Amino acid sequence: MNKKMALFLCLGCLLVACSHELPTATKSGREKLEAPQPFDGFIEMKKDGITHRLFIFANTNGYKNGEVVLHGSGEGLDRELMLTFELKSQGRVALNKEMTGFWDLGLCIPFRRYLLVDDFSNSINIDSYDAQTGKLSGRFSLRMRNEVSPYDTIVFSNGRFETRLPEIEFTYCIEG
Q: How far apart are CA 59 and CA 6, in angstroms?
A: 38
Write the CB contacts of 30 (distance below 8 Å, at least 6 apart in sequence): none
pTM, to two decimals: 0.79
Q: Which of 87, 35, 78 is nearest to 59 (CA)?
A: 87
Q: How far apart are CA 50 and CA 46, in angstroms?
A: 5
Residue 56 forms part of a structural domain: yes
Report the number of distinct structural domains present in the chain. Answer: 1
| Range(s) of the domain holding residue 165 | 35-170
pLDDT of residue 21: 43
Residue 11 forms part of a structural domain: no
The answer to whether the peptide bond before residue 23 is cis (omega within 30 degrees of 0) is no
If you count them, how many residues does the chain have?
Answer: 176
Amino acid at 13: C
Residue 8 forms part of a structural domain: no
**Eight-class DSSP state of 63:** S
Q: How far apart are CA 120 and CA 122, in angstroms?
A: 6
Residue 22 forms part of a structural domain: no
Q: How far apart are CA 7 and CA 68, in angstroms?
A: 39
Residue 50 forms part of a structural domain: yes
The answer to whether 119 and 101 are in contact (CB under 8 A) is no
DSSP H stretches of helix in the chain = 3-17
Output the tens digit of pLDDT for each of the chain's 176 residues: 433 333 222 323 332 333 444 444 433 345 566 788 889 999 999 998 999 999 999 999 999 999 999 999 888 888 999 999 999 999 999 999 999 999 997 767 889 999 999 999 999 999 999 999 999 999 999 999 999 998 999 999 999 999 999 888 888 765 44
pLDDT of residue 4: 31
Distances (CA, A) of 2 to 7, 8, 10, 12: 9, 10, 13, 16
Residue 176 forms part of a structural domain: no
Q: Which of 50, 137, 51 is nearest to 90 (CA)?
A: 137
Residue 142 forms part of a structural domain: yes
Residue 26 forms part of a structural domain: no
